[in-house]
Amino acid sequence: MALLEVGSVAPDFTLSDEKGASHRLSELCKNGPVVVYFYPKDDTPGCTAEACKFRDDYEDFTGAGAQVVGISSDAADAHQAFKAKHSLPFTLLSDPGAAVARSFGVKKLLGLLPGRATFVIDRSRVVRLSFSSHIDMHAHVEQALTALRALA
């Protein structure tokens, strides 16, 4: 499956956060745009750089009325530790088996490593940004903010 395209409807999903609470995409979207970013693994160098950039620019996201949600296949306890260690103010969801990542078309790097992609999804679950880069972590944040500003 190809990466979800801009203009397509994001598949609805329900995943658990770092505390075990369930979050459904369609419910999150009722409150405004949602930035969903898929990343390979908690507390690895690239994923930490990306998460900390989302953290550092978090006020820009909330100022645009958006929520940020990070998703990886890591378990809740790994998410809790990662979130606490880096003071991440946003929700981290566990996608065991990467079924949600696959439904968004997030490709594995070299067919082995979990993929990295960012989506901006509007209130109607329409994809407004579909971006993937395995090497430019900060571009995920910059692209998402640009897409959010275009929605305003």
Residues contacting residue 80 through CB under 8 Å, at least 6 positions apart? 18, 19
DSSP sequence for the chain = -PPPPTTSBPPP-EEEETTS-EEEHHHHHTTS-EEEEE-S-TTSHHHHHHHHHHHHTHHHHHHTT-EEEEEES--HHHHHHHHHHTT--SEEEE-GGGHHHHHTTPPPBTTTBPP-EEEEE-TT-BEEEEEE-SS-HHHHHHHHHHHHHHH-
Would you say residue 103 lies in a domain?
A: yes
Would you say residue 5 lies in a domain?
A: no
Per-residue pLDDT of the chain (152 residues; tens, 9 = 90+): 689 999 999 999 999 999 999 999 999 999 999 999 999 999 999 999 999 999 999 999 999 999 999 999 999 999 999 999 999 999 999 999 999 999 999 987 766 678 899 999 999 999 999 999 988 989 999 999 999 999 97
Would you say residue 102 lies in a domain?
A: yes
47 in active site: yes
Would you say residue 2 lies in a domain?
A: no
Would you say residue 116 lies in a domain?
A: yes
Q: Number of structural domains, the chain?
A: 1
Would you say residue 105 lies in a domain?
A: yes
Q: The domain that contains 51 carries what CATH number?
A: 3.40.30.10
Would you say residue 99 lies in a domain?
A: yes
Active-site hit among 15, 34, 35, 47: 47
Would you say residue 6 lies in a domain?
A: no
Host domain of residue 68: 14-151
